[in-house]
Amino acid sequence: MTTSKKRYLKLTLIFVGAVLFWTIGTGFYRDLAAKSEETYKGLKIFSDVIELIEKNYVDPVDTKDLIQKAIQGMVSSLDPHSSFLPPEAFKELQVDTRGEFGGIGIVITMKEGALTVISPIEGTPAFKAGIQASDIIIKVDGELTKDMALWEAVKKMRGPKGTEVIITVVREGANDPMDFKLVRDIIPIESVKSAMLQPGYGYVWITNFRDNTTEDLVTMLTKLESSETPLKGLVLDLRDNPGGLLNESVEIADLFLNEGAIVSIKGRDPADSKIFKAKINNAPRDYPMVVLINGGSASASEIVAGALQDHKRALLIGTTTFGKGSVQTVESLPDGYGIKFTIARYYTPSGRSIQAQGIIPDIEVKPRKKGEDEEEIRILKEKDLKNHLEAEPDKPAEPIDKKDKKKSGSRRRPESRLGALDVEVLKSDYQVSRALEILLSYEIFKKKLG
């Protein structure tokens, strides 16, 4: 997509809300009025309301603030991922994909007016303290989050390393709100970890898609592929991966594909439609793969999983993904402002839109520890968000997973995985052990069949 303004294509569940920017100037008003009589009538009513409030409201009002809040309501009503970005929010959005920052380490969104945790980020203060998916944050340092914009909440929870912040959460099943005193830490940008489960069988865990994720993954794969025993199989872990940069997801899928579409983007504007295709790799990777997914796998991770599934390049196991199949662009505006809005839906190579539906694994494997019953953990999904887009324009979403009743397996990772990966701990992860068993079985069958 070409434009005179700088664009950042971003697919992520870190939904940074916004306070709004006054764009209605005299010239803008005249331009809209000339194009549409209905628009003119609407803006006239808007102007009349502003004037009445200015003159008659019981207390003095800030006109600019009123207009900003009005636009905020308008944009946020489009879908959960569209917003105006004041300078502070625009900077926070850029930090999310580049560099490191001080904070507590949670992915949040706004659900029915409540600040809700999508998931804690592995190894961060929030994760260590026991913050859980679907926790509702009602206070930050004693200040109520009701009516607080997402970017404001993010800003309050971020801060210098070593400083404290207290968040108060309401949790399903708990009688009273819970206070968590957290010491902020540097939230690292490391997004790829790897280990050798046993000779010839590698494991790679991608936590999110940032600027250097593809480069880091290539480094990890090269290390696994150059071990003494040739690589016979790979487990690619995309569980609880909330997404990130579109271009990184395309490049990562391309590492394992040599031809065909990876993902297509279709928007109302032809300029916002594009097909991303795989290129022939200089380093062929033809070993069998198992990809782990769950309800926390969203957007960019769904692109990778969907591409590998459609091309029959990998077997997907786990539970149905989050279902965020929309594309946002971020436009920079004068004076440090920005606007983030949805421009397209994305489709897997076979033409599937997974918006508000998700990707169904080839084999459903719910999380549990060996010897225990399968866990059923409630987790927020795209279809639970207010004003979410449907899979197709003007077409109601159809449930494609009859077993999905707002519950989806979401693992609870052992805390010993906070640092370097521990192979024994990995093997105690039921879904990882199942993935390894599948790869080992494939090798046995291959030998049996000659």
C-beta neighbour count of 302 within 10 angstroms: 29
Contact present, 297 and 241 (Cβ < 8 Å)? yes
The Cα–Cα gap between 32 and 45 comes to 14
Amino acid at 360: I
Q: Is 394 a catalytic residue?
A: no
Angle at 382 between CA 302 and CA 6, to 5 degrees: 70
Q: Is 76 a catalytic residue?
A: no
Name the DSSP letter for residue 349.
T
Which of the residues 10, 139, 155, 324 is marked catalytic? 324
Q: Is 141 a catalytic residue?
A: no
Which of the residues 310, 384, 404, 429 is marked catalytic? 310
Phi, psi of 390 (to 5 degrees): -85, 170
Helix spans in 205-326 (H): 213-225, 246-254, 300-310
Amino acid at 257: L
Q: How far is CA 31 from CA 23, 43, 74, in A?
A: 13, 12, 19
Which of the residues 76, 82, 264, 299 is marked catalytic? 299
Q: Which residues contact 247 (CB under 8 A, 6 or more apart)?
A: 9
For residue 370 the two structure tokens come to 């060996």
Tell me, rounded to whole angstroms, the distance of Cα 402 from its chain centroid.
24
Complete DSSP assignment for 417-440: GSSSPPHHHHHHBHHHHHHHHHHH
Catalytic residue positions? 299, 310, 324
